[in-house]
Amino acid sequence: MTGFGWLLQPAVLPWVALVFGLCIGSFLNVVIHRLPKMMERAWRAECAELAGQPPTQQEPYNLFVPRSRCPSCGTLITAVRNVPVFSFLFLKGRCSNCRTRISIQYPVVELLAGIGAAYSAYRFGPSAAAFGAALFIWFTIALAFIDQETGFLPDDLTLPLVWLGLLFNLMGAFAPLADAVIGAAAGYLFLWSVNALFKALRGVEGMGHGDFKLTAAVGAFLGWKALPFVILISSVLGLVFGGLQMLAARRGWDSRFRFHFGPYLAIAGIVAMLWGAWIRLTFPAAAFYL
Question: Which one-letter amino acid corresponds to residue 207?
Answer: M
The H or E element that residue 155 is part of is helix 155-168
Confidence check: pLDDT of 10 > 90: no
What is the average per-residue pLDDT within 84-112?
89
Confidence check: pLDDT of 276 > 90: no
Q: Which of residues 55 and 167 earns the better pLDDT score?
A: 167
Confidence check: pLDDT of 271 > 60: yes
Other beta carbons within 10 Å of 31: 23
According to DSSP, residue 39 is labeled H
Which of 210, 213, 207 has the alpha carbon at shortest distance from 184? Answer: 213
Q: Tell me how far apart the alpha carbons of residues 271 and 229 are, in angstroms, rounded to a whole number.
A: 10
| Peptide linkage before 284 cis (omega within 30 of 0) | no
**pLDDT the model gives residue 71:** 79
**pLDDT the model gives residue 258:** 63
The H or E element that residue 270 is part of is helix 262-282
Secondary structure (H, E, C), 162-207: HHHHHHHHHHCCCCCHHHHHHHHHHHHHHHHHHHHHHHHHHCCCCC
Q: Which residues contact 215 (CB under 8 A, 6 or more apart)?
A: 187, 188, 190, 191, 227, 230, 231, 265
What is the average per-residue pLDDT within 50-59?
80
**pLDDT the model gives residue 73:** 82
Confidence check: pLDDT of 168 > 60: yes
**pLDDT the model gives residue 133:** 97
Confidence check: pLDDT of 256 > 60: no
Question: What digits encode the pLDDT tens for the residues 218-241?
Answer: 999 999 999 999 999 998 988 888
What is the value of pTM for the model shown? 0.90
Residue % of the chain over a pLDDT of 70: 92
What's the pLDDT band for 287 if we cut at 50, 70, 90? Answer: low
